[in-house]
Amino acid sequence: MKHEAVCYTAEEVLKRGKSDIPSELLSGNSLVYSSPATLAYNSPGAEGFGVKRAGLSVPESVMLIVAPGCCGRNTSLISSMPEYKNRFFYLEMSEPDLVTGRHLNKIPDAIGEVLTFLRDNGKKIPRVIMICITCVDALLGTDMDRVCRKAEDELEGSEFEGVKVRPCYMYALTREGRRPPMVHVRQTIYSLLEPMEKDPRSVNIIGGFAPLENTELIEYLKLAGIRNIRQISTCKTYEEFLQMASANFNIVIDPEVRAAAEDMNKNLNIPYVELTRVYSTDKISSQYKALASVTGIDIIDSEEKAEADEAIARLKEAFPDLTVNIGECANANAFELALSLTRMGFKVDEIYSVLAPENFVYVKNLAQLSPDTKIYCNMEPTMLYYKISQSKAHVTVGKDAKFYCPDIPNVAWNQDTRPFGYQGVRDLMNKIFEALTEAKA
């Protein structure tokens, strides 16, 4: 084994084609390097809005984590956050449980203990209990839907009747599957909604677990007469969350919620339109035109587009030869961002990201503009031998990129709140400008 990190240039990847992406750039094809740079990515519940925080985005919910001690341990940091106090509970699995699956019979009693504890301590009884399970039950083949139905049935006739019990799968093993954990948890959340009368002036923005950050999209919808713009993160109560079922249409801002949007279209008769987070102002403008056409609302975006283009121009003027390295632990698709930055006139030296086939379209265009851009996979074991000395970057974007290039100015760009549209472009350009200016001072 050569002691150097494996990478491919964009040109090399293009020559091989979408059907022959190098196995080193894919996940699930070989040993996984659990890089400290990408802990949040490698474990669906370890950091950020993973399965656990996502499941608890439902107002008035608590979570019972059913897992061996090692799997539940990484929740302790999240539990210390004020908003999650008294919302995480644990049912620890013993070694015999791991072999026999007998822990499943303990879940109804554990739920009863949780509810009794909350009642006896003067806490509000939750409307939903999320049961979070781990790879152990993936290997056991546990039917968690049945387990949750049984647990819910056992609450009937008790003082806790009506509390919903739903599964959350923290299955790292299914990350490359048809329903990865973050897709499934979104389906679980929105499956709680029940049909209700439609409000033509109500819209949901779905996909994120934190509110969009000062984006112009909200203002466009308000100007179009939309009175209720709901995001799960802005729902204060369970009843308010249930009102999301009255939406006239959904706006999907993350492809991981597409399956849930399909479910809502089928079960609640709520159609959806999809807006992708991109960093090309021309693409953003095209998306808003498409949204206006489909929904019949007026969107005039010239002012916001000009502001974003001005931020790009200011960065370009101050740092005309800027070279960037981009990671995947950021509020961006690393390949789309690399292509957009290249089209802006900047250079992208390295990308650290799994290359999913759906991202090949970005690499295809990137290879024509920047054929020498190197692509590394965070999960490739040879990343142990990555050498920062080979990088030509002036700045890095993404929390993981900082790990690989600790001496280069970094814009983590992985905040909980989601940048979107022109606001996202403008703020990212300003953050890069500030990081480079501070480094020069």
- DSSP secondary structure code for residue 203 in this structure: E
Three-state DSSP class for residue 373? coil
CA–CA distance, 258 with 274 (Å, rounded to integer): 8
Count of positions (residues) in the chain? 441
Q: Which residues are CB-contacts of 423 (< 8 A; sequence separation ≥ 6)?
A: 213, 214, 215, 216, 304, 308
Of 410, 399, 403, the closest CA to residue 383 belongs to: 403
Find the mean pLDDT for residues 318-326: 97
Instruction: Count Cβ neighbours within 10 Å for each residue of 46-85 and write b for 16 or more, e otherwise.
Output: bbbbbbbbbbbbbbbbbbbbbbbeebbeebeebbeeeebe
- Count of helices and strands (H, E) across the chain: 19, 14
The confidence score (pLDDT) of residue 44 equals: 40
- Please give the C-alpha separations between residue 231 and each of 208, 228, 234, in angstroms, as whole numbers: 8, 10, 5
pLDDT score of 40 more than 60:
no
For residue range 356-410, list pLDDT tens digits in order: 888 999 999 999 999 999 999 988 888 888 887 778 899 999 988 998 999 999 9
The answer to whether 62 touches 130, Cβ cutoff 8 Å, is yes
Pairing outcome for strands 8-9 and 374-376: antiparallel
- Please state, as a whole number, how many other Cβ atoms lie within 10 Å of the Cβ of residue 223: 12
For residue range 181-228, list pLDDT tens digits in order: 889 999 999 999 999 999 999 999 999 888 887 899 999 999 989 999
User: Checking phi first, is residue 180 left (phi over 0); if not, alpha (psi -120 to 50) or beta?
Assistant: beta
For residue range 97-129, list pLDDT tens digits in order: 888 888 999 999 999 999 999 999 999 999 999
Average pLDDT value over all residues in the chain = 89
- Would the pTM count as exceeding 0.85? yes
CA–CA distance, 336 with 279 (Å, rounded to integer): 7
Find the mean pLDDT for residues 143-161: 93
The confidence score (pLDDT) of residue 174 equals: 64
Tell me, letter by letter, the H, E, C secondary structure of 68-113: CHHHHHCCHHHHCCHHHCCCEEEEECCHHHHHHCHHHHHHHHHHHH
CA–CA distance, 110 with 133 (Å, rounded to integer): 14
